[in-house]
Chains A and B, each alone.
Chain A
Amino acid sequence: MRRPALVLAILAAAVTVSPVRAALRINGSTTVNPVVVDAAAELRAARGGEIQVDTLGGSSGGIAALGDGRADVAMSSRPILESDRERYPGVDFRATAIGSDALALVVSRDVWEGGLRSLTRPQLLALYEGRIRNWRELGGPDRRVVFFNKEPGRGTWEVFAHWAYGDSSEAPLVSLPEVGSNEEARSKVASTRGAISQLSAAWADGERVFALGIELADGSVVRPTPQAVAAGEYPLSRPLFLVTDGEAGRDARELIDFLLGARGREIVERHGYLPASPAVTTPEEAP
């Protein structure tokens, strides 16, 4: 029975030893995640220290973690909402855009090849609310509509609901099959006939899933191309944010500056997003 004592001693030792440099804790959006993970790896190699990245719960999960003090930086693919500020009155949310991304409505191959290339907003609402149940009604193939909805709390869903309904709290209560992260959405749409889902345009590869254009009120169709997003023509584009509570601390600042700099912008682009507008900060970057 000496073992428990030993374990206790080890635990006590572990508790008393404190880290030299507190780790930077980052949590949130799976859309922003790959960029931050790559940036964190380079920063770590350059200057040491720990940067922990996690994605449970998506953007809202990250913002809640920041609000509760469980994270130092939230990754978010949606802006800070009034409801966030109401929920965490004591937190001073400061969001910095590190790039932007278009939210695409992607469909499976059979829908795309069936001739459906774009949607109007009312058509999209009708699909989401289940009022249109067959693609034939929109001039597509004779195939039932399968709408994979991004789970609530995901930035993608918030941006979609905001555009479609003006405010995500106005979005109707629907029960659709849900998908969480981007790859899950992509693989499920790709492997299901008649499927549609909201997906980061960076993941719309045009081989397995196909991004629909948006038909604007004047009848013109805009596709989620980098050019259209950069020019602000595509209506469903959104900034990607890193959010801090008040002024960013030293480590968080370093990460944000890195992502706004030349090397960071390369990483943002490599993952298929649009870098933030050219930074005015100094050009010296970590290698």
Chain B
Amino acid sequence: MRRLIDHGFTLLTGMAALAACGLLVGIAAVILERGLPALSWEFVSRAADGFGGGGVVYQIAGTVLLLLTALGVAAPTAIAVALLATVYLDRGRSRRRLTLALYALNGVPSIVFGIVGLAVFVKGLGWGKSWLAGGLVLALMILPTLTVALAERIRAVPRSYRTAASGLGLSRSAVVWSVLLPQSLGGLVSGTLLGLARAAGETAPILFTAAVFAGATLPAGVKESPILALPYHIFVLAQDSFDPAAGAALWGSATVLLALVLSLSIAALPTRLRTHEEARHG
């Protein structure tokens, strides 16, 4: 009887895990089945032509620009906050509070970022829709992911390295630059990849702040300089695809976005899993 229950346990939990994995495969299959026929070199290298025709090169460019902006702002800030959390803040209560704040920020729904961005940049500063507004909003959104991943690696740097470096007479900032940061670069990279994967797929934060449906190319300024973006493109086409060509563009765009996001997450995966297992057994 006990054996039976044990086998039942393995079977049931195994089926749950299989179902979870099956979902990923299923979703990818449905998208690819419809999207792959639409993919071609022209599709990813040409500008959109009319409603749902042509390619999506500016949607890709817009998404990449958003990611680079978010990265440029979030990476230095994440380094600063992570150092604060691991080196400069006194141990104990204030560190715990900072961590709590980071997790709380991580939990903020993306649509709230969108509304804040709308209030601050579009309404307050009068920028209209702008790539910079979208990039800044996304930067704030991915900041916790980057920071926590980096802080985790900094904490994992053996205590002895720090003491040895200090013993050599290095100042605290020299220890930071020559020991801590180089040792924990992997955390920053995997956190960044993960954050970017999330930022690339988000529609809600750029809905009001950065993206328009058609006509934008590369921005030449900040004010009134919207961009096109893949997720927003899909969102609009999903609601308004009139002719079959637009349907092909819709699934093609979804395939491109999925490929972009999954390759970012896959690149982050090895470091991420290793960190997890180390955190457990180390």
Are B239 and A203 touching (Cβ within 8 A)? no
Contact string against A for B residues 216-228, beta-carbon threshold 8 Å, 1 for contact and 0 otherwise: 1101111010100
Are A3 and B76 touching (Cβ within 8 A)? yes
Contact string against A for B residues 161-196, beta-carbon threshold 8 Å, 1 for contact and 0 otherwise: 000000000000000000000000000000000000
Prevailing SS type, chain B contact patch: loop
Are B128 and A14 touching (Cβ within 8 A)? no
A-chain residues with CB within 8 Å of residue B214 when the two chains form the complex: 37, 40-41, 52-54
Interface with A: B97-105, B205-213, B253-261, which one? B205-213
With beta carbons under 8 angstroms apart, the residue of A20, A42, A52 that contacts B216 is A52
Give the distance in Å from the alpha carbon of A224 to the alpha carbon of B75 in the complex. 58
B-chain residues with CB within 8 Å of residue A51 when the two chains form the complex: 215
State whether the Cβ of B50 lies closer than 8 Å to any Cβ in chain A: yes
State whether the Cβ of B242 lies closer than 8 Å to any Cβ in chain A: yes
State whether the Cβ of B129 lies closer than 8 Å to any Cβ in chain A: yes
Are B221 and A18 touching (Cβ within 8 A)? yes
B-chain residues with CB within 8 Å of residue A41 when the two chains form the complex: 48-50, 53-54, 214
Are B76 and A1 touching (Cβ within 8 A)? yes
Q: Please tell me the number of chain B residues within 8 Å of chain A, measured between CB atoms.
A: 35
Q: Which of the four size classes fits the interface of chain A? A: 35 or more
Are A52 and B212 touching (Cβ within 8 A)? yes
A-chain residues with CB within 8 Å of residue B215 when the two chains form the complex: 23, 26, 37, 40, 44, 50-53
Are A55 and B213 touching (Cβ within 8 A)? yes
B-chain residues with CB within 8 Å of residue A10 when the two chains form the complex: 72
In the complex, how many angstroms separate the beta carbon of A286 from the nearest chain B beta carbon? 15
With beta carbons under 8 angstroms apart, the residue of A38, A54, A184 that contacts B240 is A184
Nearest residue in B to A38 (C-beta to C-beta)? B50
Are A33 and B51 touching (Cβ within 8 A)? yes
Nearest residue in B to A54 (C-beta to C-beta)? B212
State whether the Cβ of A173 lies closer than 8 Å to any Cβ in chain B: no
Nearest residue in A to B49 (C-beta to C-beta)? A41
A-chain residues with CB within 8 Å of residue B238 when the two chains form the complex: 183
Tell me the B49-75 residues at the A interface (CB within 8 Å).
49-51, 53-54, 72-73, 75
State whether the Cβ of B20 lies closer than 8 Å to any Cβ in chain A: no
State whether the Cβ of A108 lies closer than 8 Å to any Cβ in chain B: no
With beta carbons under 8 angstroms apart, the residue of B51, B76, B128, B241 that contacts A7 is B76
Nearest residue in A to B217 (C-beta to C-beta)? A50
**9 A-B pairs with the lowest CB-CB distances in the bound complex, closest first:** A54-B212, A19-B220, A52-B215, A181-B239, A38-B50, A34-B51, A53-B214, A181-B240, A37-B51
For the A-B complex with A34-B51, A41-B50 known, give 7 more contacts whose Cβ atoms are closer than 8 Å.
A19-B220, A25-B128, A55-B213, A56-B207, A181-B236, A181-B240, A183-B239
Give 23 CB contacts A-B under 8 Å. A3-B75, A7-B73, A11-B132, A17-B221, A19-B220, A20-B220, A25-B128, A26-B215, A30-B239, A30-B240, A33-B51, A34-B51, A37-B213, A41-B48, A41-B50, A52-B212, A54-B212, A70-B129, A70-B224, A181-B239, A183-B239, A183-B242, A203-B242
